[in-house]
Amino acid sequence: MLLFTNLNLLARVDNPLENTSLVSNRLKLTFEHKIEKVRYFTIKKNGIIKHVYDIKNALLLSGKTIKNLKADGVESLRIGQFNQHILRIVIESKYFLAKRHRLKNRTLTIYLPSYKRVLPKTVKQIKKYHYSRKRHQKLVILDAGHGGRDIGASNKRVREKDLTLSMTLRLREILKRMGYRVLMTRSKDKTVSLKQRTDFANKYKGDIFVSIHVDAAPIKRTPKVKYEGITVFYLSTKNTKRINNRRIVYRGKEVYTIREYKQMIGDKKRIYAKKLAIKVRNSVLRHLRKRYRDVNDKGIKRKPYWVLLATTMPSILVETGYISNKNEVERLQDKTYQSVLVYGIAKGINSYFGL
Ligand SMILES: [Zn+2]
């Protein structure tokens, strides 16, 4: 009698793995019996995340480790017998899991770290970000750099004016979906002078002004300077004589020098512009680096660009990358890259407004 009880206690129910399927980013494991327990944990090392699943009392009948499974965004995937009680699944990836795994009776579903799913690829996927009424009170002026006769920088057939328009249209779409009011200084390929751009922004009294550009390395390159990455500019506080004495038109006929203009708008605008620049830069890098780990940060810089100076609201100019850089020119033409980049800008704007 005693012996019988002991045997019963010792006898664990082996639960053999019956079937394994991998469809897109979903790994499905089906066992013979109901799954008892799954333990999930991660180990991070050198930028790689090891996602480990231990399945209690599960058994790999062949005893041979399964390692021929391949998936997007996954470095390696192994299913093996860890010890006689535990079946272990190890997924190595640079990314976090798309969703929590699901356990249902005999089936364990693991959502592999497919970055495509976590990041907004198209505007449609951004729909889920809730619309805010408060955002409706904010007007964002978007400025697609160059246009028409002014092609901006170029690299073979790739022209800055096309890239800036494409990115700005995407940005408008995202901001609108979030609930912002948005106006653009140009929404098609046409020539718009710098003065027309700032006059437009001032006329409609935008809350912020965001200008989108693409950088290019100068012909005479400075050694050690990396001509790659993202820079966010805001108004310079440097007072060079040449700039300060430039005359600008403000509100129709009145003409001021830039020195007078600066005094007129005060420091407040510049302080807010700096805040906006910081928020946008941080957000863009954070979002882009989830997928493109090597994106270079050129930081926040001050420049007395016309659009930063002659706008009455806090304004920034985003240099989204270098058209002259082989890697970046490819990415800047890529729709996904553009979407993630402008999504980062939109989220940065959100955080600037505290919404
Ligand atoms: Zn430009």
- pLDDT above 70 coverage of the chain, percent: 81
Q: Has residue 134 got a pLDDT over 90?
A: no
> 149-160 pLDDT, tens per residue?
999 999 999 999
Q: How far is the CA of 308 from the centre of ligand 1 (A)?
A: 13
Any idea where the domains of the chain sit in the sequence? Answer: 12-114, 123-217+225-353
Average pLDDT of the residues in 212-239: 88
Q: How far is the CA of 208 from the centre of ligand 1 (A)?
A: 19
Q: How far is the CA of 213 from the centre of ligand 1 (A)?
A: 4
How confident is the model at residue 260, as a pLDDT? 67
**Distance (Å, whole) CA 234 – CA 289:** 23
- Please give the residue that has the higher pLDDT: either 265 or 148: 148
Q: What is the mean pLDDT of the chain?
A: 84
Annotation: CATH topology of 12-114: Immunoglobulin-like (2.60.40)
Q: How far is the CA of 320 from the centre of ligand 1 (A)?
A: 10
How confident is the model at residue 160, as a pLDDT? 97
How confident is the model at residue 30, as a pLDDT? 94
Q: How far is the CA of 164 from the centre of ligand 1 (A)?
A: 8
Q: In the structure, what pLDDT confidence band is assigned to residue 130 with cuts at 50, 70 and 90?
A: very low
**Domain 123-217+225-353, second-level architecture:** 3-Layer(aba) Sandwich (3.40)
Q: How far is the CA of 218 from the centre of ligand 1 (A)?
A: 13
**Distance (Å, whole) CA 77 – CA 91:** 5
Helices (H), the chain: 2-10, 115-118, 123-126, 160-178, 194-203, 241-244, 258-265, 268-291, 306-309, 326-333, 335-353
Distances (CA, A) of 279 to 1, 167, 201: 73, 19, 21
How confident is the model at residue 8, as a pLDDT? 43
3-state secondary structure of 76: strand
Q: In the structure, what pLDDT confidence band is assigned to residue 162 with cuts at 50, 70 and 90?
A: very high
Q: How far is the CA of 146 from the centre of ligand 1 (A)?
A: 6
Q: How far is the CA of 317 from the centre of ligand 1 (A)?
A: 9
Give, as one character, the DSSP assignment of residue 293: T
Give, as one character, the DSSP assignment of residue 138: -
